[in-house]
């Protein structure tokens, strides 16, 4: 039986999950969905999905279940809790967790699944919410190769780039390494461009120079021109989420006894941004945080849009 012949459970319809679930429905998968927020559930039902009142109901009806949850605490409760998926699912059920969480929770997920006769795959998401809406997400996958091959058609429905990273837990750890560089780049870019504006330099000329040297980076060259530099700070990935991921990175590095002083310093910069009310904005808006703190004109193409 192929995945398109089965009913797939999908729990978590936030900024990333809703778009990915919608793409699954559009591409022929039968979904039963659950979220604490009724709004996105109603949107998915309008597309053809069925709603479930609880994760327990999904566990009883589905042998493959996708979870996209905010933190490790929710993963533990929804999957491994007393009334969670493992408490109600049939033996052999596969949980595909797309959440970005701490490695310890991911390891517990795999170990608990094995002990109870279930299967687990960790496949945290790369790229942003608008990629998820367009079915262009990237996934970093950890788990048994056979389980990965089984759920790959589902990942293909949600994304364009899939990396099999190895055994259980390697997907989560790869995501933390990736996000370390992506988030740190935003902090570096924010400091550099606020300094550039304080110097009175032309933004376009400064960027032309940077992009012609090894100083450039993907955030500054690809993401920022479409976001904060164009005056758009609506979140693709929020400052709050970036702070969460930096906390995961620092914690995981401490556990592994790897010093990450730059990550620790960046986390405090993001803490400042959150304390000043910028948490819900796109993480490229870190440049606005620094410009506002320094009473510097905001970095924008063309003219200031503050």
Specify whether 196 is located in the same domain as 75: no
Query: pLDDT tens across 150-184, in order?
Result: 999 999 999 999 999 999 999 999 999 999 999 99
Structural domain boundaries enclosing 281: 179-293
108: pLDDT confidence band, cut at 50, 70 and 90?
very high
Specify whether 76 is located in the same domain as 152: yes
Averaged over 247-274, what is the pLDDT?
Answer: 98
Rounded CA separation 10/25 (Å): 11
Specify whether 196 is located in the same domain as 159: no
The pLDDT, as a whole number, for residue 305 is: 39
Question: Does residue 196 belong to any structural domain of this protein?
Answer: yes
Question: Does residue 102 belong to any structural domain of this protein?
Answer: yes
pLDDT-above-90 percentage for the chain: 95
Nearest one of 243, 301, 281 to 70, comparing CA atoms: 243
CATH number at residue 214: 1.10.1040.10
The pLDDT, as a whole number, for residue 182 is: 96
Specify whether 157 is located in the same domain as 218: no
Q: Under 8 Å CB-to-CB from 303, ≥6 apart: which residues? A: none
Question: Are the C-beta atoms of residues 246 and 266 closer than 8 Å to each other?
Answer: yes
User: What's the number of domains the chain is made of?
Assistant: 2
Domain end position, chosen among 109, 135, 168: 168
Catalytic residue annotation: 175
Specify whether 140 is located in the same domain as 41: yes
Question: Does residue 52 belong to any structural domain of this protein?
Answer: yes
Specify whether 45 is located in the same domain as 99: yes
Specify whether 154 is located in the same domain as 28: yes
Averaged over 63-69, what is the pLDDT?
Answer: 97
CATH number at residue 128: 3.40.50.720
Give the three-state DSSP class for 152: helix
The pLDDT, as a whole number, for residue 3 is: 86
Nearest one of 164, 169, 217, 208 to 189, comparing CA atoms: 217
Specify whether 121 is located in the same domain as 231: no
**Whole-structure pTM over 0.75, yes or no?**
yes
303: pLDDT confidence band, cut at 50, 70 and 90?
low
236: pLDDT confidence band, cut at 50, 70 and 90?
confident
């Amino acid at each position: 039986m192929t995945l398109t012949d089965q009913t797939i459970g999908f729990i978590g319809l936030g900024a990333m999950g809703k778009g990915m679930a919608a793409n699954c429905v559009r591409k022929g998968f039968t979904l039963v969905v659950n979220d604490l927020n009724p709004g996105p559930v109603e949107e998915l039902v309008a597309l053809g999905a069925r709603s479930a009142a609880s994760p327990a109901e999904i566990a009883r009806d589905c042998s493959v279940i996708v979870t996209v949850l905010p933190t490790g605490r929710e993963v533990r409760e929804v999957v491994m809790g007393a009334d969670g998926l493992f408490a109600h699912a049939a033996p052999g059920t596969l949980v595909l967790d797309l959440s970005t969480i701490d490695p310890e929770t991911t390891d517990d997920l795999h170990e608990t699944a094995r002990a109870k006769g279930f299967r687990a795959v960790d496949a945290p998401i790369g790229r942003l919410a608008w990629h998820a809406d367009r079915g262009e997400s990237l996934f970093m996958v950890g788990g048994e190769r056979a389980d990965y091959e089984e759920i790959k058609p589902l990942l293909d429905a949600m994304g364009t780039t899939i990396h099999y990273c190895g055994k259980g837990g390697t997907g989560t750890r790869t995501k933390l390494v990736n996000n370390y560089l992506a988030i740190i780049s935003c902090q570096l870019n924010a400091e550099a461009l606020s300094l550039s504006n304080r110097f009175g330099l032309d933004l376009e000329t400064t960027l032309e120079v940077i992009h012609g040297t090894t100083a450039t980076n993907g955030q500054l060259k690809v993401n920022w021109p479409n976001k904060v530099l164009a005056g758009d700070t609506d979140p693709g990935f929020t400052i709050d989420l970036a702070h969460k991921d930096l906390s995961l990175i620092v914690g995981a590095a401490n556990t592994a006894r790897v010093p990450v002083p730059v990550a620790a310093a960046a986390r405090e910069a993001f803490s400042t941004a959150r304390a000043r009310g910028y948490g819900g904005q796109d993480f490229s808006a870190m440049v606005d945080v620094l410009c506002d703190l320094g009473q510097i004109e905001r970095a924008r193409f063309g003219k200031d849009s503050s």
